Amino acid sequence: MTVDTRPLAGKVALVAGGTRGGGRGIAVELGAAGATVYVTGRSGAGERSDLARPETIEQTAEHVTAAGGLGIAVRTDHSRPDEVQALIHQIDSEQDGQLDIVVNSVWGGDPLTDWEHPLWEQELDTGLRLLRQAVDTHIITSRYALPLLVARRSGLVVEVTDGNTARYRGSLFYDLAKSAVIRLAVAQAAELKPHGVAAVAITPGFLRSEAMLEHFGVTEANWRDGVAQDPNFAYSETPAYLGRAVAALAADPNIMAKTGRALATWGLYREYGFTDADGSQPDFAAHWARNLADQHGPLGEPL
Protein backbone atom coordinates (compact mmCIF):
# COMPACT_ATOMS: atom_id res chain seq x y z
CA MET A 1 0.00 0.00 0.00
CA THR A 2 1.43 3.38 -1.02
CA VAL A 3 1.28 6.11 1.59
CA ASP A 4 0.65 9.61 0.24
CA THR A 5 3.33 11.75 1.88
CA ARG A 6 1.94 14.97 0.37
CA PRO A 7 -1.83 14.66 0.81
CA LEU A 8 -2.27 18.44 0.89
CA ALA A 9 -0.40 19.21 -2.34
CA GLY A 10 -2.36 21.86 -4.20
CA LYS A 11 -4.17 23.03 -1.05
CA VAL A 12 -3.97 26.56 0.32
CA ALA A 13 -3.96 27.25 4.07
CA LEU A 14 -4.01 30.29 6.32
CA VAL A 15 -2.48 29.93 9.77
CA ALA A 16 -3.41 33.03 11.73
CA GLY A 17 -1.03 33.31 14.66
CA GLY A 18 1.67 31.20 13.06
CA THR A 19 4.67 32.98 14.53
CA ARG A 20 5.57 30.45 17.20
CA GLY A 21 4.32 27.59 19.35
CA GLY A 22 1.36 25.58 18.16
CA GLY A 23 0.69 27.93 15.25
CA ARG A 24 4.20 27.45 13.90
CA GLY A 25 3.96 23.69 14.37
CA ILE A 26 0.70 23.58 12.44
CA ALA A 27 2.02 25.76 9.61
CA VAL A 28 5.16 23.67 9.18
CA GLU A 29 3.33 20.35 9.18
CA LEU A 30 0.75 21.62 6.68
CA GLY A 31 3.72 22.55 4.53
CA ALA A 32 5.28 19.12 5.02
CA ALA A 33 2.01 17.67 3.69
CA GLY A 34 2.44 19.80 0.56
CA ALA A 35 0.27 22.87 1.23
CA THR A 36 0.87 26.49 0.41
CA VAL A 37 0.64 28.21 3.79
CA TYR A 38 0.04 31.87 4.50
CA VAL A 39 1.65 32.55 7.88
CA THR A 40 0.37 35.62 9.69
CA GLY A 41 0.89 37.40 12.96
CA ARG A 42 2.20 40.62 14.44
CA SER A 43 5.86 39.63 14.74
CA GLY A 44 7.54 40.30 11.43
CA ALA A 45 11.13 41.00 10.52
CA GLY A 46 10.49 44.74 10.48
CA GLU A 47 8.11 45.07 13.41
CA ARG A 48 7.44 42.92 16.47
CA SER A 49 4.41 42.48 18.66
CA ASP A 50 4.26 43.75 22.22
CA LEU A 51 5.44 40.32 23.37
CA ALA A 52 8.87 41.28 22.02
CA ARG A 53 9.84 37.68 21.34
CA PRO A 54 12.48 36.77 18.72
CA GLU A 55 10.36 34.47 16.54
CA THR A 56 8.95 35.94 13.32
CA ILE A 57 6.41 34.96 10.68
CA GLU A 58 9.19 35.03 8.09
CA GLN A 59 11.07 32.34 10.01
CA THR A 60 7.96 30.19 10.13
CA ALA A 61 7.39 30.65 6.39
CA GLU A 62 10.97 29.56 5.74
CA HIS A 63 10.38 26.43 7.83
CA VAL A 64 7.21 25.71 5.85
CA THR A 65 9.11 25.89 2.56
CA ALA A 66 11.99 23.82 3.92
CA ALA A 67 9.49 21.16 4.98
CA GLY A 68 8.24 20.81 1.41
CA GLY A 69 5.43 23.34 1.11
CA LEU A 70 5.39 27.00 0.21
CA GLY A 71 5.41 29.47 3.07
CA ILE A 72 4.17 33.03 2.54
CA ALA A 73 4.53 35.50 5.41
CA VAL A 74 2.08 38.40 5.68
CA ARG A 75 2.30 40.60 8.75
CA THR A 76 -1.26 41.00 10.02
CA ASP A 77 -2.79 42.27 13.23
CA HIS A 78 -5.89 40.06 13.44
CA SER A 79 -7.58 42.46 15.84
CA ARG A 80 -7.81 44.95 12.96
CA PRO A 81 -10.59 44.10 10.49
CA ASP A 82 -9.02 46.26 7.78
CA GLU A 83 -5.75 44.31 7.93
CA VAL A 84 -7.54 40.95 7.89
CA GLN A 85 -9.70 42.03 4.97
CA ALA A 86 -6.58 43.06 3.06
CA LEU A 87 -4.96 39.70 3.86
CA ILE A 88 -7.93 37.73 2.53
CA HIS A 89 -8.03 39.94 -0.56
CA GLN A 90 -4.36 39.09 -1.14
CA ILE A 91 -5.00 35.36 -0.80
CA ASP A 92 -8.03 35.63 -3.08
CA SER A 93 -5.99 37.46 -5.71
CA GLU A 94 -2.84 35.34 -5.52
CA GLN A 95 -4.61 31.96 -5.31
CA ASP A 96 -7.47 32.61 -7.73
CA GLY A 97 -10.02 32.47 -4.93
CA GLN A 98 -8.71 29.25 -3.40
CA LEU A 99 -8.49 28.85 0.37
CA ASP A 100 -8.95 25.36 1.80
CA ILE A 101 -7.83 25.51 5.43
CA VAL A 102 -8.20 28.29 8.00
CA VAL A 103 -6.42 27.87 11.33
CA ASN A 104 -7.31 30.35 14.06
CA SER A 105 -4.32 30.11 16.37
CA VAL A 106 -3.95 33.72 17.49
CA TRP A 107 -3.25 33.88 21.22
CA GLY A 108 -0.63 36.18 22.77
CA GLY A 109 -2.50 36.12 26.08
CA ASP A 110 0.14 34.67 28.41
CA PRO A 111 1.29 38.03 29.85
CA LEU A 112 -2.35 39.07 30.23
CA THR A 113 -3.40 36.04 32.27
CA ASP A 114 -3.72 36.45 36.04
CA TRP A 115 -3.42 33.04 37.68
CA GLU A 116 -3.34 34.37 41.24
CA HIS A 117 -6.54 36.36 41.76
CA PRO A 118 -10.29 35.80 41.47
CA LEU A 119 -12.31 37.96 39.06
CA TRP A 120 -13.17 40.62 41.64
CA GLU A 121 -9.48 41.26 42.35
CA GLN A 122 -8.28 41.32 38.73
CA GLU A 123 -7.56 44.30 36.50
CA LEU A 124 -10.68 44.47 34.35
CA ASP A 125 -9.02 46.21 31.41
CA THR A 126 -6.36 43.51 31.24
CA GLY A 127 -8.89 40.70 31.29
CA LEU A 128 -11.02 42.29 28.60
CA ARG A 129 -7.91 42.89 26.51
CA LEU A 130 -7.15 39.18 26.75
CA LEU A 131 -10.60 38.36 25.39
CA ARG A 132 -10.17 40.81 22.53
CA GLN A 133 -6.78 39.34 21.71
CA ALA A 134 -7.78 35.68 21.98
CA VAL A 135 -11.42 35.62 20.83
CA ASP A 136 -12.19 38.72 18.76
CA THR A 137 -9.22 37.96 16.50
CA HIS A 138 -10.64 34.53 15.67
CA ILE A 139 -14.07 35.98 14.88
CA ILE A 140 -12.62 38.71 12.67
CA THR A 141 -10.46 36.24 10.76
CA SER A 142 -13.30 33.82 10.10
CA ARG A 143 -15.66 36.66 9.12
CA TYR A 144 -13.45 37.56 6.16
CA ALA A 145 -11.97 34.15 5.34
CA LEU A 146 -15.09 31.98 5.31
CA PRO A 147 -16.59 33.34 2.08
CA LEU A 148 -13.68 31.81 0.15
CA LEU A 149 -14.35 28.36 1.63
CA VAL A 150 -18.11 28.66 1.20
CA ALA A 151 -17.68 29.60 -2.45
CA ARG A 152 -15.75 26.38 -3.08
CA ARG A 153 -18.13 24.31 -0.91
CA SER A 154 -15.25 22.56 0.84
CA GLY A 155 -12.61 23.18 3.44
CA LEU A 156 -11.76 23.10 7.12
CA VAL A 157 -11.68 25.68 9.92
CA VAL A 158 -9.56 24.84 12.96
CA GLU A 159 -9.90 26.68 16.27
CA VAL A 160 -6.86 26.09 18.48
CA THR A 161 -7.69 25.97 22.19
CA ASP A 162 -6.44 24.58 25.50
CA GLY A 163 -8.40 21.60 26.76
CA ASN A 164 -11.44 20.03 25.14
CA THR A 165 -13.62 19.57 28.22
CA ALA A 166 -15.72 21.83 30.46
CA ARG A 167 -13.12 21.61 33.23
CA TYR A 168 -12.27 25.06 34.68
CA ARG A 169 -8.83 26.16 33.51
CA GLY A 170 -7.78 28.07 36.63
CA SER A 171 -8.22 31.73 35.63
CA LEU A 172 -11.55 33.28 34.63
CA PHE A 173 -10.53 35.28 31.57
CA TYR A 174 -8.21 32.52 30.36
CA ASP A 175 -10.98 29.97 30.79
CA LEU A 176 -13.47 32.19 28.95
CA ALA A 177 -11.08 32.65 26.03
CA LYS A 178 -10.27 28.98 25.60
CA SER A 179 -13.88 27.89 26.07
CA ALA A 180 -15.15 30.57 23.69
CA VAL A 181 -13.07 29.37 20.76
CA ILE A 182 -14.47 25.87 21.22
CA ARG A 183 -17.93 27.38 21.00
CA LEU A 184 -16.80 29.28 17.90
CA ALA A 185 -15.98 25.95 16.27
CA VAL A 186 -19.40 24.58 17.21
CA ALA A 187 -21.21 27.64 15.88
CA GLN A 188 -19.21 27.82 12.67
CA ALA A 189 -19.77 24.10 12.10
CA ALA A 190 -23.53 24.60 12.29
CA GLU A 191 -23.52 27.47 9.84
CA LEU A 192 -20.97 25.92 7.45
CA LYS A 193 -22.33 22.38 7.29
CA PRO A 194 -24.86 23.12 4.52
CA HIS A 195 -21.95 24.44 2.46
CA GLY A 196 -19.74 21.38 2.85
CA VAL A 197 -17.20 23.09 5.13
CA ALA A 198 -16.09 21.58 8.45
CA ALA A 199 -15.08 23.37 11.65
CA VAL A 200 -13.41 21.82 14.68
CA ALA A 201 -11.56 22.86 17.81
CA ILE A 202 -8.31 21.16 18.76
CA THR A 203 -6.10 21.14 21.82
CA PRO A 204 -2.57 19.91 22.36
CA GLY A 205 -1.54 18.28 25.60
CA PHE A 206 1.36 19.81 27.56
CA LEU A 207 2.82 21.84 24.68
CA ARG A 208 6.61 22.18 24.59
CA SER A 209 6.60 25.60 22.94
CA GLU A 210 9.53 28.00 22.72
CA ALA A 211 8.20 29.92 25.72
CA MET A 212 7.72 26.74 27.75
CA LEU A 213 11.27 25.59 27.00
CA GLU A 214 12.53 28.97 28.20
CA HIS A 215 10.39 28.68 31.33
CA PHE A 216 12.18 25.46 32.23
CA GLY A 217 15.57 26.80 31.17
CA VAL A 218 16.10 24.10 28.55
CA THR A 219 16.20 23.67 24.78
CA GLU A 220 14.53 21.05 22.63
CA ALA A 221 17.84 19.17 22.59
CA ASN A 222 17.93 18.74 26.39
CA TRP A 223 14.27 19.28 27.26
CA ARG A 224 14.14 16.26 29.55
CA ASP A 225 16.29 18.16 32.05
CA GLY A 226 13.14 20.16 32.82
CA VAL A 227 11.44 17.08 34.24
CA ALA A 228 13.31 17.63 37.52
CA GLN A 229 11.28 20.83 37.98
CA ASP A 230 7.96 19.30 36.95
CA PRO A 231 7.47 15.54 36.47
CA ASN A 232 4.50 16.25 34.18
CA PHE A 233 6.92 17.79 31.68
CA ALA A 234 8.01 14.25 30.80
CA TYR A 235 4.67 13.84 29.05
CA SER A 236 4.87 17.04 27.03
CA GLU A 237 4.71 17.20 23.24
CA THR A 238 6.25 19.38 20.55
CA PRO A 239 4.29 21.77 18.33
CA ALA A 240 4.91 19.29 15.50
CA TYR A 241 2.55 16.81 17.18
CA LEU A 242 -0.27 19.34 17.09
CA GLY A 243 0.68 20.22 13.53
CA ARG A 244 0.52 16.61 12.40
CA ALA A 245 -2.89 16.24 14.01
CA VAL A 246 -4.19 19.24 12.05
CA ALA A 247 -2.58 18.01 8.82
CA ALA A 248 -4.26 14.62 9.29
CA LEU A 249 -7.63 16.29 9.82
CA ALA A 250 -7.16 18.47 6.75
CA ALA A 251 -6.34 15.42 4.62
CA ASP A 252 -9.26 13.34 5.93
CA PRO A 253 -11.85 12.90 3.14
CA ASN A 254 -14.46 12.21 5.84
CA ILE A 255 -13.74 15.32 7.89
CA MET A 256 -17.42 16.32 7.89
CA ALA A 257 -18.03 13.44 10.29
CA LYS A 258 -16.00 15.39 12.88
CA THR A 259 -17.39 18.86 12.29
CA GLY A 260 -18.46 20.68 15.44
CA ARG A 261 -16.31 18.57 17.74
CA ALA A 262 -13.61 19.54 20.24
CA LEU A 263 -10.67 17.25 19.48
CA ALA A 264 -7.26 16.58 21.04
CA THR A 265 -3.88 15.28 19.95
CA TRP A 266 -4.22 12.51 22.53
CA GLY A 267 -7.23 11.09 20.74
CA LEU A 268 -6.32 11.80 17.15
CA TYR A 269 -2.95 10.03 17.18
CA ARG A 270 -4.77 6.77 17.82
CA GLU A 271 -6.99 7.27 14.79
CA TYR A 272 -4.46 8.66 12.32
CA GLY A 273 -1.26 7.05 13.59
CA PHE A 274 0.98 10.13 13.50
CA THR A 275 3.90 10.54 15.88
CA ASP A 276 5.72 13.39 17.53
CA ALA A 277 9.02 14.63 16.12
CA ASP A 278 10.96 11.95 18.03
CA GLY A 279 8.68 9.11 16.98
CA SER A 280 6.82 8.96 20.31
CA GLN A 281 3.06 9.30 20.78
CA PRO A 282 2.43 11.42 23.89
CA ASP A 283 -0.97 10.98 25.52
CA PHE A 284 -1.49 13.63 28.18
CA ALA A 285 -5.03 12.50 28.95
CA ALA A 286 -3.77 9.01 29.79
CA HIS A 287 -1.05 10.53 31.99
CA TRP A 288 -3.69 12.67 33.74
CA ALA A 289 -5.91 9.66 34.39
CA ARG A 290 -3.01 7.67 35.86
CA ASN A 291 -1.24 10.32 37.88
CA LEU A 292 -3.29 13.49 38.34
CA ALA A 293 -6.96 12.54 38.54
CA ASP A 294 -6.85 11.58 42.22
CA GLN A 295 -5.47 14.99 43.18
CA HIS A 296 -7.12 17.24 40.59
CA GLY A 297 -10.21 15.32 39.56
CA PRO A 298 -10.96 13.77 36.18
CA LEU A 299 -10.04 15.67 33.04
CA GLY A 300 -13.66 15.47 31.91
CA GLU A 301 -15.56 14.32 28.88
CA PRO A 302 -14.92 16.08 25.56
CA LEU A 303 -17.32 18.89 24.75
CATH code for position 51: 3.40.50.720
Q: Is 144 a catalytic residue?
A: no
For residue 131, how far is the Cα from the chain centroid?
Answer: 16
* Rounded CA separation 27/38 (Å): 8
pTM: 0.96
Instruction: Collapse the DSSP code of 50 into the 3-class scheme (helix H, G, I; strand E, B; otherwise coil) and give the result.
Output: coil
| pLDDT of res. 302 | 84
Cα angle at 14 between 128 and 40, to 5 degrees? 55
Does 84 fall in a domain? Answer: yes
Closest CA to 74 of 18, 128, 20, 22: 18
| pLDDT of res. 3 | 67
Q: Which of 38, 144, 168, 174 is catalytic?
A: 174
Residues whose CB is less than 8 angstroms from the CB of residue 182 and which lie 6 or more positions away in sequence, other chains included: 159, 161, 164, 201, 262, 303
Report CA torsion sign: 31, 37, 40, 45.
positive
Phi and psi at residue 144, to the nearest 5°: -95, -25
Does 214 fall in a domain? Answer: yes
Does 222 fall in a domain? Answer: yes
- How would DSSP label each residue in 2-31? ---S-TTTT-EEEEET-SSHHHHHHHHHHH
| pLDDT of res. 301 | 82
* Rounded CA separation 109/112 (Å): 5
Does 3 fall in a domain? Answer: no
DSSP β-ladder status, 70-75 and 156-160: unpaired
| pLDDT of res. 298 | 87
Does 4 fall in a domain? Answer: no
Domains held by the chain: number: 1
| pLDDT of res. 299 | 87
| pLDDT of res. 2 | 60
Phi and psi at residue 12, to the nearest 5°: -120, 130
Range of the domain at 253: 12-296
Does 7 fall in a domain? Answer: no
| pLDDT of res. 222 | 97
b or e along 184-209 (b: 16 or more beta carbons within 10 Å of the residue's beta carbon)?
A: bbbebbeebeeeebbbbbbbbbbbbb
Per residue of the chain (303 residues), give pLDDT as tens.
566 889 999 999 999 999 999 999 999 999 999 999 999 999 888 776 777 788 899 999 999 999 999 999 999 999 999 999 999 999 999 999 999 999 999 999 999 999 999 999 999 999 999 999 999 999 999 999 999 999 999 999 999 999 999 999 999 999 999 999 999 999 999 999 999 999 999 999 999 999 999 999 999 999 999 999 999 999 999 999 999 999 999 999 999 999 999 999 999 999 999 999 999 999 999 999 999 998 888 888 887
- Is the backbone of residue 21 left (phi > 0), alpha (psi -120 to 50) or beta? left
